[in-house]
Structure 1
Amino acid sequence: MNRDAVTAIADAIERMKPEFAIISDRIWDFAELKFDETRSSEVLAKTLDDNGFAVRRGVAGMDTAFIGEFGSGKPVIALLGEFDALAGMSQAADVAEHRPLSSGGTGHGCGHNLLGVGSLMAAIALARHLKENGLTGTVRYYGCPGEEGGSGKTFMVRAGLFDDVDTALTWHPAPFNGVRSTNNLAVLEYYYRFKGLAAHASNAAHLGRSALDAVELMNVGVNFLREHMPQDCRVHYAITDTGGRAANVVQAQAEVVYLIRAPEMPQALDLAKRVDKVARGAAMMTETDVEIVFDTASTNLLPNITLETAMHENMVALGPIAFDEADLAFAKAIQDTFTEEAIKSSIRLYQIKGDVFSNAKIDGTTPLHLGLRDFKGQSHFRAGSTDVGDVSWVTPTAQCWTPAWAIGTNPHTWQVVAQGKSPAAHKAMAHAAKALATTGLSLMTSPELLSAAKAEWAEKTDGKPYVCPIPADIEPATHPTVGK
């Protein structure tokens, strides 16, 4: 893409950064859980209103889901934003020690306060550039609630809100800078609710039927199942209801939630059937009843190397992030809370190998990623899940990562929350916005790039229609969970 255009968009976003850093910090303060992000959603939607976007609120049956649109005609470029927090992640900002603000409170343990605002900056900057240069096309910002255990984007896809989108772009905070092509896992979430019969646990235990025993037996059975499922699959659980705290009462009810993951959705569905059989077996052994409640799901991610390569090239053109000594000092203080193995594990997880700008090997001795991860145009396995996967099956999709966190930081930890308001995180957020906006402009000004991305997507989908993993009669959930 034209270097002058890259510079113009980057400069515009840099001027926007102070205002939008305040918005990100407000969302950090709100720390609202999935589908309850009322204030977070509204501050983002109003910002779009104020910048000339036509905003539709409450889409796809979710009060906190919205779409902002600017421009007209083709192509339609979607920017995806998230803004939900996590339960149990309360933590003070800008301190390098575990210091919850409230016991059991919420916090942005995955950096979605940055994610939603970074994509917002990209959408607004791209819209302004189109208007100032007389270019045609449509910019859409998708306000996507409930990524953490709610699969908000999946509901939006099911509602047909991406049917006319040409490509979708997004990003995520991370300990590294660059594009990383991944094959995420499909995920299904089920609640197993056992009903038994209460009784005095000493005088009349023979009259009771323990729902908690059923939960425990189910968990043991699934643990044995792990040996007999494909290696890349994952099954994990949390007991959400033990039936009470009295040990001298046979528990009449108990509940466990399971996340079932596999490289592709059909595999996940097959594995879920086996887990269901274990649950029914546990119910038979304890003479209890089990109710299997489908909660939500997300499809595996479909990478698009064409789009990812274009995004990488724009990140090369943007150059490194201008972190200063204060940024490095705070990142080092955070990094000192990790073990050496945690830092090495982070480097392996994110495959932070070479540096495009210096050819240096990344070994964790520098607390922030100062360069750009090399991108070879290849995908690799990642065991996490995301509802971005459902979007990727209906339109070509790409994402990048920028270093809002010190090397060694893992998602869903207090260290993520502590770094969520830092100047370094704001710089990383703005850098992501630049990468998204310039890639969006590349797609709008290069029909060849857009055509190539669509051709790759068509080849990988092989004419197979997208099948939403969430049945039509399931509505968005509202109960908080730990998240994906």
Structure 2
Amino acid sequence: MNHPGLPEKVDRPGGTPQTRLWRLLPLLLLAALLCYRAGLAAGPENTQTAKKKVAVKIGKEKKFILDWLGEKEQLEFFGRISDRIWSYAELGLQEFKSSKLLADTLEQAGFKVERGLAGMPTCFVASYGEGKPVIGFLGEFDALPMLSQKGRVPRKDPVVEGAPGHGCGHNTMGTAAVAAAIATRKAMEKFGIKGTIKVFGSPGEEILASRPYMVRAGLFRDVDAVIDNHSSSDFGTAYGVSGNAVISAIFTFRGKTAHSAGAPWAGRSALDAVELMNVATNYLREHLNPAHRLHYIILEGGQAPNVVPDKASVWYYVRNTDAELEAMFERVANCARAAALATGTELAEVRVLSATHQFHGNRALAELLQKNIELAGMPAWDKEEEEFALALQQELKSEEKGLKREVNPLREPRDSFIGGGSTDVGEVTLVAPTATVRFPSSVPGAIGHHWSTVASVYGSIAWKGLNAGAGAMALTALDLLTGPEELKKIRAEFEEHMKTHSYKSFLPPEATPPLDINRALMEKWRALLEQHEIKD
């Protein structure tokens, strides 16, 4: 019996067209099902690829910004600024050349620049425009000790052995903020856009030392929203509470000198106190949540083995959640007090250098920033850039996949707190709604605070990545300046969050910026690094 709808007889081999169609139908259905399942398995990156194929209509203001930043002249101009800061490799609160270069660039672009703010010679705020809204850009520019490395060399090869290097990409970050601000300013001028933009030149982030003092000085008091940025190997943003709060402090002990062999009983070793404190805090680790952190270096421990040290000091980072940080720090301080008691020494000083909160990212601002990240898009990498990335990944024995080609989807908060690092941007997030763009100026697999990152954030990869990041930031600033409803939504979320996360500084009243902490170390290396500086 024939299936209803099929002909009664077959006229020739293969049947009529209708017959052949019915015979193919199961195969067509199977093919459609496989395509659908492949689409589900493709994940966010394939979805993003599809998005990129769709023509997006943008306003003339945004097109102007992207076109201006996309000019070869601008790519090279800001890229060279980044490379110059990379070559200065100045440690936190010693970034005199880096800060001046960025501030001078903004001044020459028509910004009013105030320097030496919040008790820090290398802190500045550059402003353009007038009235509300006030939109801020954050920019960092300090390097890290011990990480000197030649740029775009995929093996360890220092510029100056033992000297500082930009192992976190801060050379690109201050530059990206400046590029974004100047692009936004040009659009404001061309299209008559009202409002104020500010660049907050923020020194010493690697020692978490500027934003707590900048907030205390009231520098963010009138700011409606803040756009932060960070060097990365990907292009994306996130929201929610992340990272650890931290207190950075130096514990100094005083004892009595004596001959270490002739009359050791007459002495009281301050170094013994430091070592005993460290033993106690290491035992304390057993009772900490795995997400919490503490680590230290001994700054001073005497000058000769045959003299009992009468002064010793140790520098601690104590990291925990906002809610539990102060209690954990008190336990560490108790370890210091006990060590002094046990060794017959004096805990002479507990000097808090800085203290900052966890990062509280604003969801509405991050969602807006994500749209503009997708609009700006990933840079196009050339063959030489891909070859360097693969060579570095091979050297590091990481996955050899080259440079990223797609932007990341918006990252949601983690289900559980895993701790990790800290940023003093956290302080700003509790006084103004803030979101951070991660832009692709480094190689996937490069290790943070390591020579491989220093090698990556120099040259054309860094130039293209910071330029893309500047584009996303400038587009977002434009949305905030021209879209009162967007800003209202961002501010409403911030005000609601603050009902359960009210701001209180962790800084003791007597704390001051630690201008001395890197001075001697930078003086040791500056003259040697100057021999390798990029001049223009």
Aligned counterparts, 1:49-64, within 5 A: 49-64=107-122
CA contact (8 A) 2:136 2:226 kept: yes
Out of 68, 81, 88, the position equivalent to 2:139 is: 81
Q: Deviations over 1:171-210 (max 9, x none)?
A: 1111222113351211101111111122222221222211
**Residue 365 of structure 1: CA displacement?**
3.9
Q: Deviations over 1:257-284 (max 9, x none)?
A: 11001121x4111111111111110111
Of the structure 1 ranges 78-87 and 367-376, higher mean CA displacement relative to structure 2 is found in: 367-376
Inter-partner Cα distance in structure 2 for 1:147 and 1:422: 23
Moved over 6 A (4+): none
**Residue 106 of structure 1: CA displacement?**
1.6
Inter-partner Cα distance in structure 1 for 2:394 and 2:301: 38
CA contact (8 A) 1:71 1:139 kept: yes
Alignment-derived partner of residue 8 in structure 1: 64
CA contact (8 A) 1:53 1:70 kept: yes
Q: Deviations over 1:450-470 (max 9, x none)?
A: 111111111111165422222
**Residue 371 of structure 1: CA displacement?**
0.8
Aligned counterparts, 1:62-461, within 5 A: 62-181=120-239, 183-244=242-303, 246-264=304-322, 266-290=323-347, 291-340=349-398, 364-378=399-413, 381=417, 382-461=419-498
> Percent identity at matched positions?
38
The one-letter amino acid paired with 1:462 is K
Inter-partner Cα distance in structure 2 for 1:224 and 1:438: 50
Inter-partner Cα distance in structure 2 for 1:383 and 1:436: 26
SS at match of 1:302: strand
SS at match of 1:405: coil
The one-letter amino acid paired with 1:436 is M
Q: Deviations over 1:314-345 (max 9, x none)?
A: 111222221111111111121122134xxxxx
Q: Deviations over 1:146-187 (max 9, x none)?
A: 111142111111111101000000111112221133512111
Q: Deviations over 1:460-482 (max 9, x none)?
A: 11165422222333221121299
Inter-partner Cα distance in structure 1 for 2:411 and 2:203: 32
**Residue 104 of structure 1: CA displacement?**
2.4
SS at match of 1:449: helix
The one-letter amino acid paired with 2:255 is G
Inter-partner Cα distance in structure 2 for 1:211 and 1:75: 54
Inter-partner Cα distance in structure 2 for 1:399 and 1:144: 15
Q: What is the alpha-carbon root mean square deviation over aligned residues?
A: 1.8
Which structure has the larger Rg over C-alpha atoms? Answer: 2
Of the structure 1 ranges 39-48 and 391-400, higher mean CA displacement relative to structure 2 is found in: 39-48
Inter-partner Cα distance in structure 1 for 2:231 and 2:107: 26
Q: Deviations over 1:418-477 (max 9, x none)?
A: 122221111000000001001111111211111111111111111654222223332211
Of the structure 1 ranges 327-336 and 387-396, higher mean CA displacement relative to structure 2 is found in: 327-336
Inter-partner Cα distance in structure 2 for 1:60 and 1:142: 12
CA contact (8 A) 2:79 2:459 kept: no
Of the structure 1 ranges 468-477 and 266-275, higher mean CA displacement relative to structure 2 is found in: 468-477
SS at match of 1:6: helix
Inter-partner Cα distance in structure 2 for 1:319 and 1:231: 37
Q: Deviations over 1:396-430 (max 9, x none)?
A: 00011112111111221111111222211110000
Inter-partner Cα distance in structure 2 for 1:373 and 1:211: 51
Alignment-derived partner of residue 518 in structure 2: 480
User: What stretches of structure 2 of length at least 5 have no aligned partner?
Assistant: 1-55, 522-536
Q: Deviations over 1:38-57 (max 9, x none)?
A: 11111111111111111111
Q: Deviations over 1:355-413 (max 9, x none)?
A: xxxxxxxxx44221111112254356551111111111000000111121111112211
SS at match of 1:55: strand
Inter-partner Cα distance in structure 1 for 2:473 and 2:461: 18
Inter-partner Cα distance in structure 2 for 1:170 and 1:128: 20
CA contact (8 A) 1:180 1:379 kept: no
Inter-partner Cα distance in structure 1 for 2:251 and 2:120: 25
Q: 1:115 to 1:72 in 2, by over 3 A?
A: same
User: What stretches of structure 1 of length at least 5 have no aligned partner?
Assistant: 341-363
Q: Please report the TM-score for the alignment, with normalisation by the length of structure 2.
A: 0.82
**Residue 248 of structure 1: CA displacement?**
3.0
Inter-partner Cα distance in structure 2 for 1:468 and 1:417: 33
Inter-partner Cα distance in structure 1 for 2:363 and 2:261: 64
Q: Deviations over 1:82-130 (max 9, x none)?
A: 1111122211112112122223212111111100000100000011101
Q: 1:267 to 1:463 in 2, by over 3 A?
A: closer
Alignment-derived partner of residue 21 in structure 2: none
CA contact (8 A) 2:83 2:459 kept: no
Inter-partner Cα distance in structure 2 for 1:339 and 1:333: 10
CA contact (8 A) 1:87 1:480 kept: no
